[in-house]
Amino acid sequence: MNSDLLKEWLSPSSVAYLASCLQICENAEMVADLRSFAPPKALREATKRLSPRKRQQLKDWVLLLNSSEKGVAA
């Protein structure tokens, strides 16, 4: 990803939009959809705007997704 595009993703409005998307995620699949197009750095910035409870829920889902991806790759 080029630096201009990353800067756009890290703009306050983009980070706020990602935070609102993360807030409404109801399962790991919804998080996977966001991860398919949003840069990891922008998603990390967006999670800083969420409650500790929602951040923990997202962390659990990401760990689940990462472990399932490793299983598929093996």
pTM of the model: 0.86
Tokens at 58, concatenated: 């997202």
Residue 49 has pLDDT above 90, yes or no: yes
Instruction: Tell me the residue type at 71.
Output: G
Please tell me the predicted confidence (pLDDT) of residue 72.
60
Q: How far is CA 26 from the centre of its chain?
A: 13
Q: What is the largest CA-CA distance in the chain?
A: 38
- 47 C-beta neighbours (distance < 10 Å), count: 18
The domain ranges of the chain are: 3-73
Euclidean distance between CA atoms 19 and 42, whole angstroms: 9
pLDDT in tens, 14-28: 999 999 999 999 999
